[in-house]
Amino acid sequence: MKILAIGDFHGKFPKKLEREIKKADVVLSIGDFGGSKKLLKLVFKHLYKGWWNVVEKKKVREYILEDYNSGKKIIKTLNNVGTPVYIVHGNWDFEGRKKERTGGVKLVNYSHLMKKMKNMNYLRKRIVDIKGMTVYAFGGYVIPDVVLTKKGGYTEIKIKRFKKEYAKLKKQLFSKSRKNIDILLAHYPPYGHFDVVKYKGENPRNGQHVGFKPYTQYIKKYKPKLFLCGHMHEYQGKKKLGKTIIVSIGSAEQGKAAIIEFDEKRKKINKIKFLK
């Protein structure tokens, strides 16, 4: 079986990736469909204050809708290609109604839009069988360990909130504890692998690890054959952690993705190729 692993579109969908999707048997996506460069700069600049508090309401709505609509366009294009697509959302997707992401603008979640689309399959924190492969679809926003300390730059009140959410996410991850997982489909990388921020621009997280430590712990304990992630546009490649191959698929925005040849009968990865 030929799998195309793709994500981090951020509003761009290079034609060469559309062609590769047509050749694949199945697409696994790690999310992050929309994008707005103006908004991204504001988020990094006002990471601790909340960007929507320092921008006039008219501009907040303008930037959010630019971002949201670019993601809708990507989702529609993916659906129209015709290959079945299985998705976990990323940290940048419009899933949930947190002000950190929506600026208070009321929007329909991407997952609801996908329900009406023939080839789009939204997965949230569950184990599913996909064409003979056992896939643990977790994905979504997770809490980097750095924000649990004063080094993260947040107030004690926020750190307390993050610790509570971190514990909840870890419990959710380990609630499905199985040793026969073929692929763990995430968005964030595991701690210590493809997770040091090397952003070319203003980013208060530069030089910090932003991977999710419970992912690393899960890999060591349950040994999925393959761990797919993205989020960090700085990286593309593969590493081995025990018996698990960790693949950072690269950013679709930059024309990158990963092609994986998987033998679903023998439960074996035959080949991994990167589109650059």
Q: Which domains does the chain have, with CATH numbers?
A: 2-275 (3.60.21.10)
Q: What is the pLDDT of residues 116-147, one digit of tens each?
A: 999 999 999 999 999 999 999 999 999 999 89
**What is the band of 67 on the pLDDT scale with cuts at 50, 70, 90?**
very high
**What is the band of 179 on the pLDDT scale with cuts at 50, 70, 90?**
confident
Residues in Cβ contact with 9 at an 8 Å cutoff, skipping those fewer than 6 apart: 32, 33, 34, 35, 71, 74, 251, 252, 253
pLDDT at 51: 86
Pairing label, strands 85-87, 26-29: parallel
pLDDT at 261: 98
CA 131 to chain centre: 22
Closest to 264 in 3D by CA, of 180, 171, 139, 186? 180
Asked whether the whole model's pTM tops 0.85, one would answer yes
As a whole number, the mean pLDDT across the chain is 94
* DSSP track, 43-95: HHHTTTT-GGGTS-HHHHHHHHHHHHHHHHHHHHHHHHH-S-EEE---TTS--
Q: What is the pLDDT of residues 39-59, one digit of tens each?
A: 888 888 888 888 888 889 899
